[in-house]
Structure 1
Amino acid sequence: MTDHSGDRIALFIDGANLYSAARALNVDLDFRKLSDWFSQKGRLVRAYYYTAMVEGEEFSPIRPLVDWLDYNGFTVTTKPVKRYVDAQGHTRTKGNMDVEIAVDMLELAPHLDQIYLFSGDGDFRRLIQAVQSKGVRVSVVSTVKSQPPQIADELRRQADAFIDLNDVMTHFSKPKAPMKDGLARTLERTERPS
């Protein structure tokens, strides 16, 4: 096995997608432990976290996490959730961060040896292919051990390596805190992948 301890690495975390995977596995993440664990895999150049946020609410349940990440070395990218009415007249929300992730990953790729993408979104297959063509190895972190699986098969096949979140959660999970019903519904609404 090749030693990659000197590799320049970066984490790209699709917040909504990672939240869904962790929820499907019934675990809470400890982002300090997560950052420390991946820092042991090489020289952590950057850790990005992407999420859409509901604007205009008195309290945003995702705000404390975003603030903590921002103060603790993560590069946080947010944008407002868009609300729309579907064909059946239901109000829906959309907060896709795919373009932001793709632009940042392509810009940083020439300065990296390894990328860890925390997402199961099949739309990233072509992005991974483009980054790999620049000589960067890409590992995808998601899970197939939930019902339904949280990763698209085409993304898993394109990646150089697949890390099942369920298999590594002991390294960076924390005890699941009980949530009040209103908070659980709000988080589900704001962190649901589009």
Structure 2
Amino acid sequence: MPVTHPTQRVGVLADAQNLYHTARSLYSRNIDYSSLLEGALDGRELTRAIAYVIRANSPEEESFFEALVDIGFETRVKDIKTFEDGSKKADWDVGMSLDAVSLAPHVDTIILCTGDGDFARLCRYLRHEGCRVEAMSFAESTSEELVEAADSFENLSENEDTYLL
């Protein structure tokens, strides 16, 4: 595993929907985003932190979005789409990938806070471009392909009292 150091410039991209649903289904708890950011940085230099969130018009979401900003995250907000058949869709895979590719020349490390295997190809691309890629998520719901594609993986389940409220 490559060595990390305090002057490493880090970008943190957090897939809030993925983390939220996993934390709720596994532990019936919420993510502590302050601890998540601190753990991701591990004493390194933050360049940018972006949280990708979905607006579903629930009463507490605006205060959640504001709390993310207070912690140090920029927020990218997308409205949930409801289709004629009643199904709903909202994901940030393309947006996160584009931000990661844009951010890569300006950082040494990109940390993807998600368990979504769709990001494995992104990991391979970023590593090819010379960027260290780390993933943080709950092992129980993390794609093995993502774990293998990243330089390192931190299982949030091993430190649930740190990363969950």
Task: Call closer, same or farther: CA 1:85–1:108 in 2, change over 3 Å.
Answer: same
- Aligned residue for 1:78? 77
What TM-score, normalized by structure 1, do the two folds share?
Answer: 0.76
Equivalence for 2:9? 8
Partner SS state of residue 120, structure 1: coil
Cα 1:41–1:21 change in 2 (3 A) is farther
- Return the alpha-carbon distance in structure 2 between the equivalents of residues 78 and 64 of structure 1: 13
For the Cα contact (< 8 Å) 1:49–1:77, is it kept in 2? yes
Distance in 2, matches of 1:143 and 1:119, equals 8
Shift of 1:85: 3.5
Give the counterpart of 2:47 among 31, 45, 48.
Answer: 45
Change (3 A) 1:3 1:166: same
> Which residue is 2:38 aligned to?
36
Structure 1 Cα separation of the partners of residues 71 and 144 of structure 2: 33
Using the TM superposition, name which of 1-10 and 124-133 deviates more.
1-10
CA distance in structure 2 between the partners assigned to 1:40 and 1:155 by the alignment: 21
Kindly tell me the number of residue pairs found equivalent between the two proteins.
Answer: 163
Partner in structure 2 of residue 190 of structure 1: none
Match of 1:173 in 2: 164
User: Is the contact made by 2:19 and 2:31 (CA closer than 8 Å) also made in structure 1?
Assistant: no
Asked if 2 retains the 8 angstrom alpha-carbon contact of 1:29 and 1:172, the reply is yes
Deviations 1:52-87 (A, max 9, x none): 212xx4x5332211121123321100111110144x
Mark the CA change 1:161 to 1:126 in structure 2 (over 3 Å): closer, same or farther.
same
Larger radius of gyration: 1
Contact 1:51 1:95 in 2 (8 A): no
Assess, with a 3 A threshold, how the Cα gap between structure 1 residues 105 and 168 changes in structure 2: closer, same or farther.
same
Of 82, 92, 103 in structure 2, the residue corresponding to residue 97 of structure 1 is 92
Structure 2 unmatched ranges of 5 or more: none
Quote the residue 1:155 is aligned against.
146
Asked if 1:130 is matched to 2:102, the reply is no
Q: Whole-Å Cα distance in 2 between the matches of residues 10 and 170 of structure 1? A: 24
Instruction: Give the ranges of 4+ consecutive aligned residues of structure 1 lying more than 4 Å apart after TM superposition.
Output: none
Counterpart of 2:7 in 1: which secondary structure? coil
Deviation at 1:36, TM superposition (A): 2.8
Q: 1:161 to 1:3 in 2, by over 3 A?
A: closer
* Greater helix fraction, Structure 1 or Structure 2: 2
Q: Provide the aligned C-alpha RMSD in A.
A: 1.8
Specify every segment of 5 or more residues in structure 1 that has no aligned partner in the other structure, as ranges.
175-194
Q: Sequence identity of aligned pairs in percent?
A: 30
C-alpha deviations, 1:34-64, integer Å up to 9, x for none?
223333331011111001212xx4x533221
Report the residue type matching 2:142 in the other structure: I
